[in-house]
Structure 1
Amino acid sequence: MPTLELLRPDHAGALLAFELANRAWFARSVPDRGDAYFAEFADRHAALLAEQASGVSWFHVILDPAGVLIGRINLVNRLDGDAELGYRVAESATGRGVATAAVAEVCQLAARDYGLDTLTAAARPDNPASLAVLARNGFTVTGEFLLAGRPALRHHRVLDQTD
């Protein structure tokens, strides 16, 4: 079963390799990060760590049983007990319940350790895997919006201490 770890400085190399190896895969369902993201990765990683230290966001890596980074899952923009959930899993790890398990675990962390009451998330209608992950974890659709010019569905979940 995969495990989650809070993002640390020593995750930088593995995280960059993960993002590069899966760039085309991710671009099928979410906006591409762009070349600047990769060129400025070290600065971006440091900024994420600083943001995490401030308590505004929590960034996690998903590791397989051998310790290989196979995904990431984040809670960002904490405000009034709410945060936005985002996640991505390597193409090689799809179809094995990795995202579903990681979302379940981060929901527990959000309620128990991070003091959050609700989470929001977004997924495109043409991404049935992500829609299924959110539904399996108790998220409900609350509206539609445009994400990088394409239709997306906004999701919401109320957390409680039993999560």
Structure 2
Amino acid sequence: MTPFNVRELKSTDTEALLAFEVVNREWFESHIDGRDPGFYSPEGVGEHIDSYLSDFAKGVWHPFVIEDASKTIVGRANLKDIDAAKGSAEVGYRVAQSACGQGLATLALNHLIQQARIRWQLTQLVAYVYPENVGSRKVLERCGFSPEEFAADEQAGAERRFVLSIAAAQSAR
């Protein structure tokens, strides 16, 4: 298996991140809501990175990229809406279509869980996934997330919420 590296997003990632997002745009938009068209430019991605790094400095966001052996970005993963008082955050990740099936989403999610526990001392993570995104649901379940009960008033096709108790996940390992 090709070696991969998960690392924090850097301000110098604009060109590489833009390439990753443009190449995979159609693929991503087939699974999640699309980004604003203005995002897909050096300025748009640069502003995006600046915003993420600003939120990282504030302690409410922790952005990562996944690189292959040639240092090409093949995925992203984030802890977002970090709430230290509640001990919780939301996770998000996306993997290039060309890199699917290599365990990168699981690698990224395990990295997020580790960072949430060690760096941020969080006790709960949540994720939202559309029902038709079977791959992401499987990754979440593989990493210990459980789906919350589907509420009777929820609309069909609405995102489902998955939850992980980090303390419980650690004691189960």
State the TM-score, normalizing by the size of structure 1: 0.91
Matches of 1:48 and 1:108, distance apart in 2: 20
Partner residue in 1 for 2:62: 58
Matches of 1:66 and 1:110, distance apart in 2: 28
For the Cα contact (< 8 Å) 1:143–1:155, is it kept in 2?
Answer: no
For the Cα contact (< 8 Å) 2:145–2:164, is it kept in 1?
Answer: yes
Quick one: which amino acid aligns to residue 24 of structure 1? E
Q: State the secondary structure of the residue aligned to 2:148.
A: strand
Matches of 1:129 and 1:116, distance apart in 2: 25
Q: State the secondary structure of the residue aligned to 2:131.
A: coil
Structure 1, unpaired ranges of 5+: none
- Are residues 1:67 and 2:71 paired? yes
CA displacement at 1:106 relative to structure 2: 1.5
Q: State the secondary structure of the residue aligned to 1:73.
A: strand
Matches of 2:55 and 2:157, distance apart in 1: 28
CA displacement at 1:97 relative to structure 2: 0.8
For the Cα contact (< 8 Å) 1:119–1:158, is it kept in 2?
Answer: yes
Matches of 1:78 and 1:47, distance apart in 2: 15
CA displacement at 1:143 relative to structure 2: 4.1
CA displacement at 1:36 relative to structure 2: 2.0
Hey, which of these two has a bigger chunk of strand by percent? 1
Name whichever of 71-80 and 136-145 sits farther off: 136-145
Matches of 2:58 and 2:69, distance apart in 1: 30
Percent identity of equivalent pairs: 32
Question: 1:77 aligned to 78, 81, 85, which one?
Answer: 81
Q: State the secondary structure of the residue aligned to 1:22.
A: helix
Q: State the secondary structure of the residue aligned to 2:57.
A: helix
- Are residues 1:128 and 2:134 paired? yes
- Are residues 1:105 and 2:107 paired? no
Alignment of structure 1 residues 2-81 onto 2, 5 Å: 2-39=4-41, 40-79=44-83, 80-81=86-87
- Are residues 1:152 and 2:159 paired? yes
CA displacement at 1:41 relative to structure 2: 2.2
Quick one: which amino acid aligns to residue 154 of structure 1? R
Quick one: which amino acid aligns to residue 50 of structure 2? A
Matches of 1:26 and 1:9, distance apart in 2: 23
State the TM-score, normalizing by the size of structure 2: 0.86
Structure 2, unpaired ranges of 5+: none
Matches of 1:141 and 1:159, distance apart in 2: 15
Partner residue in 1 for 2:125: 119
CA displacement at 1:65 relative to structure 2: 2.4
Matches of 1:5 and 1:59, distance apart in 2: 9
Partner residue in 1 for 2:146: 140
Structure with bigger gyration radius: 2
